[in-house]
Amino acid sequence: MQNLRKLISIVIPVFNEEGNIPLLYAELRGVLNSLWNKYDCEVIFINDGSSDASALAIKNITNQNKKVKYIEFSRNFGKEIATTAGLHFAKGDAVIMLDADLQHPPRLISQFIEKWEEGNEIVIGVRNSVRSQWLKKFGSALFYKIMNLIGDDTKIMPFATDFSLLDRKVVNEFNRFSERNRMTRGLINWLGFRRDFIYFDAPERAGGGAGYSNLKLIKLALSSFISHSLFPLKFAGYLGVLITLISGIIGFAILIGKYFLHNAFFSSFTNSAQLAILIIFLVGLILSCLGIIALYIGNIHSEVLNRPMFVVREKENIDGNF
Ligand code: UDP
Ligand code: MG
């Protein structure tokens, strides 16, 4: 019976959540106990360089329960890296990522598992209402708009959270990513796979302060744009081509109109106006050249990211020897 049960891993990144950890664990234990006859489970806390007593709070739990595991970072590396580490060490047939501040209600875990058993390889929690401050709300709406406009990958769903379940296949593929500046959601999106969504109301964080300051969020957004889109890089090139074309046409028209056709309208352009158009033309040329360099840098960029070239869902008879 024991080894027939599937293993569910719960990955929880923690940054200064000393007050929330006991509350979270109490709720989590209730949920996991109710799943006990069908699923075995492990809980992995990743302490992302907390400066409060989070470590103590987690060790209190690991001492009571061997299924609760603990990883401590040497310093704060950020949530994305913390979840990455959790996914790396998780052994489950499915891995669920959960915030420690109770904004991701543990009671929904059974719904995630149900969707997974229906054949979905990724189940993503989507917030119904965002009760955060208006600046964050506006910022996140803007982020998704831009990201979906300029992103090279598949679309990201607005209000999708990191509260999600990944099948073992997806986790194995995720573990092959080697890029350092990462957004877990963006990478999971990139991977493809069959997915479904669970809509939920996110409560206010239970206690403590949000670990992400506005500045940290802006930095995360910028680095996400850069790693999921080459548009900012190519923009100079597009602009350059446009400027060169327009100023080239105007300059050419003046040249012909003024000096060959002696047209009154074109003759009214002064010498300095002609010089200005020449300069604009040259600036356009320089920007176009920057655009060409951008194409090369773009190639280097995608090579350096070193993403897997493709992602396989299933294999049959592939490593079969005769
Ligand atoms: N977190 C982390 N490292 C950080 C910041 C946050 O591991 O540098 C954890 C935090 O403890 C929580 C989750 O990531 O479990 C989400 O953080 P937060 O609630 O601050 O983000 P928000 O809910 O505003 O997205
Ligand atoms: Mg939160």
For residue 249, pLDDT over 60 is answered with yes
User: Can you give the pTM of this predicted structure?
Assistant: 0.79
The string of pLDDT tens digits covering residues 13-25 is 999 999 999 999 9
Q: For residue 81, give the nearest of 219, 161, 184 by alpha carbon.
A: 184
Atom of ligand 1 nearest to the CA of 132: 24
Q: Give pLDDT, residue 197.
A: 93
**Range in 170-184, 221-235, 306-320 the model is least confident about:** 306-320
Q: Confidence class of residue 279 from pLDDT cuts 50, 70 and 90?
A: very high
How many whole angstroms separate alpha carbon 166 and alpha carbon 229?
A: 24
Q: Give pLDDT, residue 321.
A: 60
For residue 2, pLDDT over 60 is answered with no
Which residue among 50, 99, 131 has the greatest number of ligand 1 atoms within 8 angstroms of its CB, and so is best to mutate? Answer: 99
Q: Confidence class of residue 311 from pLDDT cuts 50, 70 and 90?
A: low
Nearest-10 crossing angle of helices 184-191, 214-228: 30
Distance 47 CA to ligand 1 centre (A): 11
What CATH fold (topology level) applies to the domain 6-228? Spore Coat Polysaccharide Biosynthesis Protein SpsA; Chain A (3.90.550)
Ligand with smallest separation from the Cα of 103: 2
Which residue among 54, 76, 98, 101 has the greatest number of ligand 1 atoms within 8 angstroms of its CB, and so is best to mutate? Answer: 101
Q: Give pLDDT, residue 219.
A: 84
Q: Is the CB of 99 under 6 A from ligand 1?
A: yes
Distances (CA, A) of 122 to 196, 212, 246: 7, 25, 49
What are residue 10's DSSP bridge partners? Answer: 43, 96
Q: Supply the residue whose CA is at minimum distance from atom 24 of ligand 1.
A: 210
The string of pLDDT tens digits covering residues 114-142 is 999 999 999 999 988 666 677 777 888 88
Q: Confidence class of residue 241 from pLDDT cuts 50, 70 and 90?
A: very high
Higher pLDDT, 138 or 162: 162
Residues contacting 280, CB < 8 A, separation 6+: 243, 247
Atom of ligand 1 nearest to the CA of 76: 8
Q: Is the CB of 82 under 6 A from ligand 1?
A: yes
Distance 123 CA to ligand 2 centre (A): 19
Where do the structural domains in the chain lie, given as residue ranges? 6-228, 231-305
Distance 235 CA to ligand 2 centre (A): 35
Mean pLDDT across the stretch 158-170? 91
Which residue among 15, 144, 162 has the greatest number of ligand 1 atoms within 8 angstroms of its CB, and so is best to mutate? Answer: 15
Residues contacting 170, CB < 8 A, separation 6+: 121, 122, 188, 191, 193
For residue 208, pLDDT over 90 is answered with no
For residue 205, pLDDT over 60 is answered with yes
Q: Is the CB of 210 under 6 A from ligand 1?
A: yes
For residue 316, pLDDT over 70 is answered with no
Q: For residue 157, give the nearest of 102, 207, 208, 195 by alpha carbon.
A: 195
Q: Is the CB of 144 under 6 A from ligand 1?
A: no
Distance 101 CA to ligand 2 centre (A): 6
Q: What sign does the CA torsion over 45, 101, 183, 118 have?
A: positive
Q: Is the CB of 106 under 6 A from ligand 1?
A: no
Token representation of residue 20 = 């929330």
Q: Is the CB of 78 under 6 A from ligand 1?
A: yes
Distance 210 CA to ligand 2 centre (A): 6
Q: Confidence class of residue 314 from pLDDT cuts 50, 70 and 90?
A: low
How many whole angstroms separate alpha carbon 291 and alpha carbon 313?
A: 37
Q: Is the CB of 284 under 6 A from ligand 1?
A: no
Q: Supply the residue whose CA is at minimum distance from atom 22 of ligand 1.
A: 210
Which amino acid appears at position 68 of this protein? V
For residue 322, pLDDT over 70 is answered with no
